[in-house]
Chain A
Amino acid sequence: MVLELSACTGVQSALNPAADDAARLARLSAVLFVGAGVIFFGVSALLLHAIYARPERRRWLGRRQAVVAGGLVFPIVTLTALLVYGFGVLRLTNIPADNGSLRIEVVGEQYWWRVRYLPEAAEAAFTTANELQVPIGRRIELIVTSADVIHAIWIPNFAGKVDMIPGRVTRLTFIAEKPGVYRGQCTEFCGDQHARMAFDVVALEPAAFDAWRRQQAEKAQEPATDFLERGRTLFFRNGCGNCHAVRGTEAKGQLGPDLTHVGSRRSIGAAQFPNNVGTLAGWIADTQHLKRGARMPSFGSLSGEDLRALAGYVASLR
């Protein structure tokens, strides 16, 4: 199986900001890097001067006053300035959401993300997984917690990270500015497959987002062919519905990701593999090989034909 996702440089980078907070933090980073660079070369130069300069030229550096000036006065002045600047950035970053914000609940679970868009005016609530789509130009509030152990949600192109802690609710807000495809990842070690707990992030124009949201809130599509119908039958016969929900069918399981529109997502396995019939079949048959420790067992006893039908049905849930 090809392990490559359409990932490419910059989709998960704090240095490529695509939202207000990330841009602010990138500016802060630039200031810090330049400042640190200047101080680093200054200190190194003084050290070299102390070692190599002629005694009469380095004498001024060998006094207690030099220690007070360089080790006490200079840091206090610079660090105070930095602290004031840092407080300013702190105040402006991750500010509380207002009434016009789009609110999305994200629950971290070993090793995937449950994502629930809260109802808003005429828009209905719905649940999806491992994918976050947001409109640009509007404040987004992620309301996050965990169902098991501590995770952390990080979309570096948008904002800093925040922990997902069982029993506590934390929040992250930002305004996406550039449409595009990004990536988020769990940053708090959460067990076996911490490394494979990521998700796709898509920033859309508002109109495109509204279309996406309405489509996601709908019930699942009915199978269009007999082959897909057979896939659906296999879906229930194998107990998939005990863990997964497919809205509009009797599949109401809540342990795993909601699959109502799984076919429309960019990837599977928490942003591990591209989403198509082939990868879905591979995932169903061999979950424990691809992501050992995930909560889903491998369904390795399905025949090739059955597997194709089942994967085809899942892929058709667009």
Chain B
Amino acid sequence: MNAPDTPELFEHPPKQPPHATPRPAEELGGLKKAWETPKGWRLVTAVNNVYVGIWYVATAFVFFILAGILALIMRTQLARPEGAVVGHDLYNQLFTMHGTVMMFLFAVPAVEAASVYLLPNMQAARDLPFPRLSAYAFWAYLIGGLVFFTSLFWGVAPNTGWYMYPPLTSYRYSPGDNADWWLLGIGFIEISAIAGAIEIIVGVMKTRSVGMSIDKLPVYSWAMLVFAVMIVVGFPAIILGTILLELERAFHWPFFIAEKGGDPLLWQHLFWFFGHPEVYIIFLPATGMVSMIVPTMAQTPLVGYRLVVLALIATGFLSFGLWVHHMYTTGLPKISFSFFSAASIAVAVPSGIQVFAWIATIAAGRLKLTTPSLFIIGFLVIFTLGGLTGVMVAVAPFDWQAHDTYFIVAHLHYVLIGGMVFPLFAAFYYWAPVASKRALSERLGKWVFALMFIGVNIAFFPMHIAGLIGMPRRVYTYPVNMGLDGLNLVSTAGAFMIAAGVAVFLYDLARNFRFAVDDNAGNVWGAGTLEWLPNGTYATRSIPYVESRDPLWTRRTLSKEVEDGAWYLPGNPTGWREALVTSPIEGHPQYILQIPGPGWAHVLAAVFTAAFFLLLTVKAVYPAFACGVVALGCVIWWAWQLDPGPIRPPADIGGGIVLPVYVTGPMNHAWWAMIVLMVVSGMTFTCLIFSYLFLWVVNPGTWPPAGLTLPGWIGPGLAGCLYLTASGAIALASRFLRGEDRRSPYAVPVLIALALPLALGANALDLWTQWHSGLSPEAHAYGACVFAIIALQAFFVATTAIMGVFTIARWLAGKLDSVRRSTFDNTMLFWHYTTAQGLLGLLVTYGFPHVTGG
């Protein structure tokens, strides 16, 4: 079923709201009933972004405090030379955990969490498009993160740095479980980050307020969009790297072992291709927050909106071209340094644009010196300094001195604390009145700011000097009389000052923060954006037409009109939770999306997914797989409840706009999510092919290694034909499944059932052919790469098979027809992707060695 194509819809923007008020009383009752929050212990089944968002932010903040405590222990150890507070083994765990927890369990989740809470509100959407997915991501992160953290208490925490460089992290030099905690624990939290990113992309593109065209999108939404795209492109590299390193550790497949054709630098490329964008992944959402707070505090629209948006996009783009600046000391050719040096320096330009846009906005308006403003000023000062040292280390020769010294420790803390923590604290103080009955205290807030601002500078400024006069990073102690004693003591004092600031903040929270949904403190700052509209569990009562970037400033009556239900979709015509899906460019309404409410399936799926990975870490293989099977069952149970079909005829949302309650194809939100998932998959596969080609370059003339007979063309040729035939069968099934008459022919399940063994057979044939040619995954990196490509393909074929069986089951249950075919469409998209990946894999593994001369 297709939604109406309405290009002329808002040629003349509505001057007045479409509905007459007052609205019938049962309308609000219906909304409230559908959006009711589960009571008591069933609260864990809640999926509403307001609840999940707050839990998520709170959990991220707990990890901030935990990782901060680790830092205090380290600073105590380093306060004096030859200190003996902790030994080297604990210290090495502490710095690894501090970095890992701050990056993976605080920074990325915190900005993702804040957007779960803020993004729908800011776009006047009722919820995120996949509320159970974000709840799943949250629960998996909470359980996985907490268990991961406790590894410190058993002395088995990772102890080889948050960047996990092999060979130190491989089986020979790290035989214990420590490295596995990192690889499996963090690997799986990255999956949770990707789930969140998919949610955010679809949320920003598809669930906006009416008329919120792309040029009226809040800067924060833009920032989150770029953030999410960067996660989708960047995280697959680290996920693949993690898989390869775990394969090397568990099965001795030598990807990173030099004497067997591997190369330790492969890891560094994969890690930093993710790791550098990671910094901007953390930073961009924070700048998005700043771009929302500054205009409110200065009471004037942001100066240079388009420039700021371009700067966000440019930062995202450039950040993928400078990962090698983490590898300036690896002895790569100087010519490559020139390129990456230029890119690293260039990325300062978009940051400069943003800084000047904020200064200009402050100059254009009149800045009220509130606590959020102070944190913004602190951010500008600290971040500017961190940015300037960033430009310094982008100059390769300077980096040869500064690299891996305390100069870098200083630089990265200036950038991350200045660029992310200060904006986050500004955001806490700024948005607390949305989430709480009372605003936080301005008086206490100023203390928090003063302690943190002075503390950060006292703690980290001396480190610049300490690094240049000879203090390397990641040392548990340092000798006396090298001029480092005084500097380190001052740094330690500063660290405790920051801690004091955070303690005052916690006190402020305890005194003033009282979670609120519909009785919040309200628009205390006089802000202009939609998150300050009156709210309930259902978000805004009605969904307004947006005529500017600061709608509350341009239309003073908007809050009341929205609250009275005068704008679009003031009720819930399907009787369920609903969201309004809008077009990605103009923000025109397209259809009414029924979104799932509370449930157990996603909670249990998260619990058992976490259990699967954590049990695998401690080598409890059979319990792990049992949990994995249960987790899969829960996901299927969860998916079974989706794809409701057109349960009622199109509904009027007001102003004569009649929208369907179900659509399929490129307008559908799940279709978008599947496309994003395919990008994630494609990036993972690309990184694997990159690894294959990288190791070929490292092994000139021995790729494949001498003495290996390459298999012939029959096996791969046949496998390729099988993949194509299977995809053809699915395409044919799709043709049978057309028409508005809700037909549901037998041919559909039969064709899927025929295609399944073909795809499985193709993968098995591929494996059999390579195995029988005598290739071993353990002997040489060549074999390891080939079998890794086959293994990744096996994972995709298995997933496709599960989706195929699921689709057949939907047909058998009468839940699949020519209109209600979203499930089938997603399976089809994924199937074709798997075929394409399979064919490319065959081409590389069988064709390429012939080119390089076997």
Contact = CB atoms under 8 A, between A and B. Distances in A.
Interface of A: 3-5, 7-16, 22, 24-25, 28-29, 32, 36, 39-40, 43-44, 46-47, 49-51, 53, 55, 58-59, 61-64, 66-72, 74-76, 79, 82-83, 86-87, 89-91, 93-94, 110, 148-150, 152, 154, 156, 159-163, 165-171, 183, 185-195, 292-293
A47 B380 contact: yes
A169 B258 CA distance: 12
Contacts of A32: 391-392, 395, 398
A313 to B, nearest CB: 28
A82 B367 contact: no
Interface string B307-327: 100010000000000000000
A205 to B, nearest CB: 25
B334 to A, nearest CB: 6
Contacts of A59: 363-364
Nearest to A24: B397
Contacts of B480: 3-4, 7
A190 B168 contact: yes
Most buried by B among A24, A86, A93, A183: A86
Contacts of B359: 43, 46-47, 50, 61, 66, 70
Given A15-B469, A64-B307, A47 B482 contact: no
A56 B353 CA distance: 23
A160 B401 contact: yes
A75 to B, nearest CB: 4
Contacts of A148: 167, 173
A4 B481 CA distance: 8
A195 B477 contact: yes
B473 A29 contact: no
B99 to A, nearest CB: 11
Interface of B: 82, 87-89, 92, 160-161, 165, 167-168, 173, 258-259, 263-265, 300, 303-304, 307, 311, 329-331, 334, 337-338, 341-342, 345-346, 348-349, 352-357, 359-367, 369, 377, 380-381, 384-385, 388-389, 391-392, 395-405, 468-470, 472-483
Nearest to B476: A195
Contact of B354 (A5, A71, A163, A168): A71
A292 B400 contact: no
A71 B401 contact: no
B356 A70 contact: yes
Contacts of A79: 345-346, 348-349, 391
Contact of A28 (B307, B337, B354, B398): B398
A28 B173 CA distance: 38
A49 B468 contact: no
Would you call the interface of chain B mostly helix, strand, loop, or mixed?
helix
Contacts of B304: 64, 67-68, 71
List the 10 closest pairs (A to B, CB-CB), nearest first.
A160-B400, A167-B258, A62-B364, A170-B331, A12-B470, A71-B356, A195-B475, A71-B353, A9-B483, A61-B363
A16 B401 CA distance: 12
Given A36-B388, A47-B381, A193-B88, 11 more contacts: A5-B479, A25-B400, A29-B468, A47-B380, A67-B307, A71-B349, A75-B348, A75-B352, A82-B345, A165-B331, A195-B477
A150 B303 contact: no
A149 B402 CA distance: 21
Given A82-B395, A90-B396, A189-B474, A50 B360 contact: yes
Contacts of A24: 397
A192 B89 contact: yes
B481 A7 contact: yes
B401 A161 contact: yes
Given A4-B480, A44-B384, A13 B357 contact: no
Most buried by A among B304, B364, B380, B472: B472
Contacts of B363: 49-50, 53, 58-59, 61-62, 66
A154 to B, nearest CB: 7
Contact of A161 (B334, B338, B354, B400): B400
Contacts of B160: 189, 191
Contacts of A16: 469
B349 A72 contact: yes
A25 B331 contact: no
13 contacts: A9-B483, A13-B468, A50-B359, A67-B303, A79-B345, A83-B342, A90-B337, A150-B264, A152-B404, A160-B403, A185-B470, A187-B473, A292-B88
Contacts of B369: 51
B279 to A, nearest CB: 19
B264 A36 contact: no
A74 B384 CA distance: 15
Contact of A187 (B303, B334, B405): B405
A187 B471 CA distance: 9
A192 B355 CA distance: 42
Nearest to A192: B88
A194 B476 CA distance: 8
Contact of B349 (A3, A76, A82, A90): A76
Contacts of A63: 303, 360, 364
B592 to A, nearest CB: 39
Nearest to B359: A50
Most buried by A among B304, B353, B356, B380: B356
A153 B482 CA distance: 18
Contacts of A293: 88
Nearest to B475: A195
Nearest to B367: A51
A61 B360 contact: yes
B799 to A, nearest CB: 36
Nearest to B261: A167
A82 B360 contact: no
Most buried by A among B311, B345, B355, B479: B479
A56 to B, nearest CB: 11
B533 to A, nearest CB: 28
Nearest to B91: A195
Nearest to B470: A12
A83 B367 CA distance: 36
A90 B397 contact: yes
Nearest to A6: B481
Contacts of A183: 470
A316 to B, nearest CB: 27
Contacts of A58: 363
